[in-house]
Amino acid sequence: MANNTEVKATAKYVRMAPRKVRMVVDQIRNKSVDKALEVLQFSTRAAAEPVAKVLRSAVANAENNNNLRADNLVVKYAYVDEGPTLKRIRPRAKGSASRINKRTSHITVVVAPGKEA
pTM of the model: 0.89
Q: Element (H or E) spanning 108, and its range?
A: strand 105-113
Task: Over range 32-47, report the average pLDDT.
Answer: 94
- What's the pLDDT band for 87 if we cut at 50, 70, 90? very high
Q: Closest Cα to residue 52, out of 113, 97, 114, 107? A: 107
Angle, CA of 47, 39 and 6, to the nearest 5°: 85
Q: Element (H or E) spanning 82, and its range?
A: strand 73-82
Query: Is 2 contained in some domain?
Result: no
Query: Is 1 contained in some domain?
Result: no
Q: Is the pLDDT of residue 18 over 80?
A: yes
User: Residue 89 belongs to a domain with what CATH number?
Assistant: 3.90.470.10
Q: Residue 1 has what pLDDT?
A: 43
Q: In this predicted model, what pLDDT tens digit does every residue of 66-80 receive, in sequence order?
A: 888 888 899 999 999
Percent composition of the chain: helix, strand, coil (DSSP 3-state, to 5): 40, 35, 25
Q: Domain total for the chain?
A: 1
Query: Is 95 contained in some domain?
Result: yes
Query: Is 28 contained in some domain?
Result: yes
Q: In this predicted model, what pLDDT tens digit does every residue of 51-60 receive, in sequence order?
A: 999 999 999 9
What residue numbers bound the domain in which 50 lies?
Answer: 7-113
